[in-house]
């Protein structure tokens, strides 16, 4: 396992999760690929010298890349089920920027397809403490 995230849900968030499982069968997750902020340190750790001055990453590599993936939660529809593991393919999506003097976010129009050509995917596991559909309800 490379990374994990624990998210405590309560109140309305639990209702939204139940709706995503029961009605939609899943939900969209968004990911951000961020650039390495200190490439010289990573190269030094790998036994390589730091890059020469003025020789850094191309400008495009310094921008974060946004993606989304459909997380199939239909396994949690089974009575008593509390966990599901899926492999999801990433799709490049537009980044959002906040409008000036407003609380609205707007998608940027220009998107360079980053993940589609390589069919980039991640394995995700979702575990919940109590089943959404209990064994007693069946």
**pLDDT tens sequence for the chain (138 residues):** 466 677 777 888 888 888 888 999 999 888 887 777 666 655 555 555 555 555 555 555 567 788 889 999 999 999 999 999 999 988 888 776 666 676 665 566 666 777 777 788 888 888 888 888 887 765
* pLDDT value of residue 78: 92
Q: 96-98 and 83-89: which strand pairing?
A: unpaired
Domain-embedded: residue 1 = no
State the residue range of the domain holding 48: 12-137
End-to-end CA separation in angstroms for the chain: 35
Using CA atoms in the order 76, 80, 83, 89, what is the torsion angle rounded to 10 degrees? -20
In a domain, 6, yes or no: no
CA 16 to the chain's CA centroid? 18
Look at the chain and report how many structural domains it folds into. Answer: 1
3 domain residue, yes or no? no
Is residue 79 a part of any domain in this protein? yes
- What is residue 17's predicted lDDT score, i.e. its pLDDT? 86
What gap in Å lies between CA 46 and CA 39, rounded to an integer? 11
């Amino acid at each position: 396992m490379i990374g994990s995230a624990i998210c405590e849900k309560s109140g309305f968030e639990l209702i939204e999760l139940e709706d995503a499982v029961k009605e939609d069968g899943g939900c969209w997750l968004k990911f951000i690929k961020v650039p390495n902020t200190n490439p010289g340190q990573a190269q030094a750790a790998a036994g390589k010298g730091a890059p020469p001055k003025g020789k850094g990453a191309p400008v495009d590599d310094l921008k974060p890349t946004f993606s989304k993936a459909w997380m199939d939660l239909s396994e949690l529809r089974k009575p008593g089920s509390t966990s599901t593991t899926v492999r999801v393919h990433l799709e490049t999506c537009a980044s959002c920027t906040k409008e000036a003097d407003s609380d609205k976010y707007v998608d940027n129009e220009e998107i360079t397809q980053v993940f589609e050509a390589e069919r980039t995917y991640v394995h995700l596991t979702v575990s919940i403490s109590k089943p959404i559909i209990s064994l007693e309800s069946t």
